[in-house]
Amino acid sequence: MKMKKIVCLLVLLVMVPGVVFAQGVVGEAIPHDLQLSDQNKAEQNFEALAGEKGMVLFFVRSADWCPFCKSQLIDLGEKGGLIEELGFSVVTLSYDDPSLLKIFADKYKFPYTMLSDPGSEAIKAFGILNEEMKPATRYYGVPHPVVYVIGLDKTIKARIAEEGYKNRPSIREITEAINTLN
């Protein structure tokens, strides 16, 4: 009987589209400690970056070549203070090299920490690697754009994302999500 249940489960997983074993799930601990270099090549981690109540972590495809990410980051640079007022730090993460993040931060006077995940280890740990991008191409390793609200206890409190890569959650949507947590 046990073997029959296992076979049924495997058939279900193969036959039903959209069934995924994802990490980075609301209510669970973050699957990566975020020990990564920032745009200034300084080593960072969750504890060093978290605000009074935690962190809002923005996974972006690229601050170098993605126009939708650049627009999101510019908006975040202008309005991220609304998130900080709620007690959360603002941090971004992409697969970009720290030197590329530094160029963006300097050009747009971006005031927040930009983490570099060149091997996409954190991206993979959160389960948001865009697998449509082919290995050995410039774009392999990018995440699906997702925003996580993470509490001081390293628990994911909210996951905010839009369909596709062109649309991004607004700062208003993010602050509303944070306000529902209190």
> What domains does the chain contain, in order, with CATH numbers?
20-181 (3.40.30.10)
List C-alpha distances in Å: 100 to 20, 39, 89: 32, 8, 22
Strand, helix or coil at 127?
A: coil
Strand, helix or coil at 105?
A: helix
**Whether the model pTM is above 0.75:** yes
CA gap 96, 33 in Å, rounded: 18
Strand, helix or coil at 46?
A: helix
* pLDDT of res. 22: 43
Neighbours of 165 (CB within 10 A): 18
* pLDDT of res. 67: 97
Region of 136 please: left (phi>0), alpha (psi -120 to 50) or beta: left
- Give DSSP secondary structure letters for 4-30: HHHHHHHHHHHHSTT----SS-TTSB-
DSSP tag of 68: H
Number of H helices, E strands in the chain: 7, 7
Would you give per-residue pLDDT tens digits along the chain (182 residues)? Answer: 443 333 333 333 333 333 333 457 899 999 999 999 999 999 999 999 999 999 999 999 999 999 999 999 999 999 999 999 999 999 999 999 999 999 999 999 999 999 999 999 999 999 999 999 999 999 999 999 999 999 999 999 999 998 889 999 999 999 999 999 86
pLDDT in tens, 134-174: 999 999 999 999 999 999 999 999 999 988 899 999 999 99
List C-alpha distances in Å: 146 to 7, 15, 43, 62: 33, 27, 23, 13
